Amino acid sequence: MANESKPVKITETVLRDGHQSLAATRTRINDMIPVLEQLDDIGYNALEAWGGATFDTCLRFLNEDPWERLRTLKKYLKKTRVQMLLRGQNILGYNHYADDVVEEFVDRAVNNGMDIIRIFDALNDVRNLECAMKAAKKSGAHVQGALVYTISPYHKPENFLQVAKDLVQLGADSICIKDMSGLLAPYDAYALVSTLKSNLSVPIEVHTHYTSGMGSMTYLKAIEAGADIIDTALSPFAMGTSQPATESMIAALRGTHYDTGLSTDKLAPIAVHFKQVKKSLEKDFNINTNIPIDPEVLKFQIPGGMMSNMLNQLKEQGAADKYPELLEEMPRVRAELGYPPLVTPTSQMVGTMSVLNVKLGERYKLVPEEIRDMVRGKYGRLPGPIDPAVQQKIIGDEPIITYRPADDIKPQLAMFKQQLTEAGYPNASREDILSYALFPKVAIEFFKKVAAGETTPSPVVTKAPTAPNIATTQMQAIAANVPGTAITAPMHGKVVSIKVKDGEIVRKGQVVLVIEAMKMENVITAPADGVVKAINTSEGAKVTTGHVMMVI
């Protein structure tokens, strides 16, 4: 321990990750306003308050304009910097956007009050951060480059150091270790932070989750290794799958070289307020905020939320008994696909691929388009090599791209503006155009509510939606009456589009239908040459496993 004091700084997550982790991101701006000035007085490094889920939830469930929320936060937070989380070229969504949209978004975010932008890419491919980082630099924001933490043979401290060096080269003002699943063990944190600190001069921030029960220990060892900033959540929104508690970390460091200098007395009344907020969210949105830790995540290195998500998918597919197989399958799929870190959207992709493999009995028999694109390199460079046999099965002899994926995307901003004009919003603001670009359907619904006067400051409280209930559709046994080859649904899902017409000649391998299952689109191809004799479903219809959708 060094002799001179080195106060640890704290980024408070109660306005973003805290309620995103424990309360489905439902905290409303009206729940925050009463304590914003008090929070501003604490002396935090920053208040994290914005990100993909916050933005989406504002529009979708809270009838709040996320841009207005940002401006309101900024009005009250006069001393403390506001921070957001940005998914690189994905901005706040799940797909790559053109550079002009990324630049416009960053410009508007900073212009509306954003001070710190934490930028990450699910694969740690820095090429996917370049555009957003340049734009953030230009707008004058503090640019933080984040390393997505995961465990694999390709994620050793020296690998992370290389990514961090690249980010600093691109202008990162600080580096964050983003441990979204609570996998970072205390002594691994010590080793990783030590490696970064001895090679870089920018501040190092650590972001972990309590999911596996190690969060506070991880912070303590990271601090001993020289971490400058830690992310914590005020106690009512701490622990469980959220961050370690702010008050506890302040108390743990008090009187040491690392003393934060922050007052837990000042935090107490704010915590009382958020306790009430939590209660009201539970009631208003019917959510359970009591999420226990789950050390099992360490065994399979799978994020906690993902495990329950996958189990639900299996249940929906009527294959809950295959859960033990699924737990073995997920790490296998991840290894074969080059060890992508499991964070949105790669976690969903690897999870769905594993569910399909287990459910269908044949591995990679049905491959979602997103997985094909990942193998093609369209999400960026994978950390490790892809298993050659698996690659062959998924994309055959197609080449893997070696350039920055967004180089393929033409400017999109004018197109989004045009679409909004056609939808009846010719005077949409620059911010509205971005809301639409990121969440098209949700934004249009929101604009309708604005026109009807149903938005904040008097938020219309809506109940949290329950998981979509896959209705059992009537399985007309037309296959029995019409001779030919039946194309049956390989899983429960929804028909997104039908690519052929009655009477049309189809070739073996031709795409006939697209089914959406588990949030991914799956292409169904003709098993043989033939003529479409009957189509027994429609676009938008729900289908269950085995349902005869078409006869050829």
Contact 339, 154 (CB under 8 A): yes
Span of 12-20, 49-57, 386-394, 405-413 interacting with Co ion by CB under 5 A? 12-20
Q: How far is the CB of 180 from Co ion (least distance, A)?
A: 5
d(C-alpha 242, C-alpha 258), whole Å: 23
For Co ion, give the closer residue by CB, 230 or 366: 230
Residue showing tokens 């999420």: 291
Show the DSSP H helices in 286-398 as ranges: 296-300, 304-316, 323-336, 346-360, 369-376, 388-395
For Co ion, give the closer residue by CB, 50 or 364: 50
Span of 9-17, 34-42, 189-197, 538-546 interacting with Co ion by CB under 5 A? 9-17
For Co ion, give the closer residue by CB, 17 or 247: 17
For Co ion, give the closer residue by CB, 16 or 142: 16
Q: How far is the CB of 285 from Co ion (least distance, A)?
A: 20
- State which of positions 106-165 bind Co ion (CB under 5 A): none
When binding is defined by CB under 5 A, the residue of 17, 115, 179, 228 that contacts Co ion is 17
Q: How far is the CB of 141 from Co ion (least distance, A)?
A: 20
- State which of positions 197-226 bind Co ion (CB under 5 A): none
Q: Which two tokens stand for residue 72?
A: 């309101």
For Co ion, give the closer residue by CB, 17 or 336: 17
b/e 195-206 (16+ beta carbons within 10 angstroms → b): bbbeebebbbbb
CA 363 to chain centre: 26
Q: How far is the CB of 21 from Co ion (least distance, A)?
A: 7
For Co ion, give the closer residue by CB, 317 or 344: 344
d(C-alpha 517, C-alpha 537), whole Å: 15
- Residue 324's φ and ψ, nearest 5 degrees, are -60, -40
Q: How far is the CB of 523 from Co ion (least distance, A)?
A: 33
Contacts of 502 (CB under 8 A, 6+ apart): 532, 533, 534, 535
d(C-alpha 345, C-alpha 52), whole Å: 12
For Co ion, give the closer residue by CB, 10 or 358: 10
C-alpha separations of 499 from 275, 291, 496, 536 in Å: 52, 43, 10, 13
For Co ion, give the closer residue by CB, 149 or 447: 149
CB-based closest residue to Co ion: 17
Q: Which two tokens stand for residue 334?
A: 């991840």
For Co ion, give the closer residue by CB, 17 or 104: 17
Concatenating the DSSP letter of every residue in 372-406 gives HHHHHTTT---SSPPPHHHHHHHHTTPPPP-S-GG
* CB atoms inside a 10 Å sphere around CB 30: 15
Q: How far is the CB of 66 from Co ion (least distance, A)?
A: 18
Q: Which has the closest alpha carbon to 536: 479, 485, 497, 492?
A: 479
Size of the site for Co ion (CB under 5 A): 2
Q: How far is the CB of 461 from Co ion (least distance, A)?
A: 26
Question: Residue 185: exposed, middle, or buried by beta-carbon count in 10 A (0-12, 13-18, 19+)?
Answer: middle
Per-residue binding string, Co ion, 154-193, x by CB under 5 A, is: --------------------------x-------------
Q: How far is the CB of 207 from Co ion (least distance, A)?
A: 6
CA neighbours closer than 13 Å in the CB half-sphere of residue 451: 10
Q: How far is the CB of 65 from Co ion (least distance, A)?
A: 24
d(C-alpha 520, C-alpha 94), whole Å: 11
Q: How far is the CB of 188 from Co ion (least distance, A)?
A: 18
Q: Which two tokens stand for residue 302?
A: 């799978």
Residue showing tokens 């469930």: 61
For Co ion, give the closer residue by CB, 17 or 65: 17
Per-residue binding string, Co ion, 386-425, x by CB under 5 A, is: ----------------------------------------
Span of 16-24, 73-81, 213-221, 254-262 interacting with Co ion by CB under 5 A? 16-24
For Co ion, give the closer residue by CB, 304 or 368: 304
Q: How far is the CB of 146 from Co ion (least distance, A)?
A: 10
Span of 15-23, 43-51, 94-102, 259-267 interacting with Co ion by CB under 5 A? 15-23
For Co ion, give the closer residue by CB, 143 or 184: 184
For Co ion, give the closer residue by CB, 17 or 432: 17
* CB atoms inside a 10 Å sphere around CB 519: 16
- Round the CA-based radius of gyration of the chain to a whole number and report it: 24
Q: How far is the CB of 305 from Co ion (least distance, A)?
A: 11
Contact 361, 317 (CB under 8 A): no
CA 303 to chain centre: 12
Q: How far is the CB of 99 from Co ion (least distance, A)?
A: 26
Contact 243, 18 (CB under 8 A): yes
Residues that bind Co ion (CB under 5 A): 17, 180
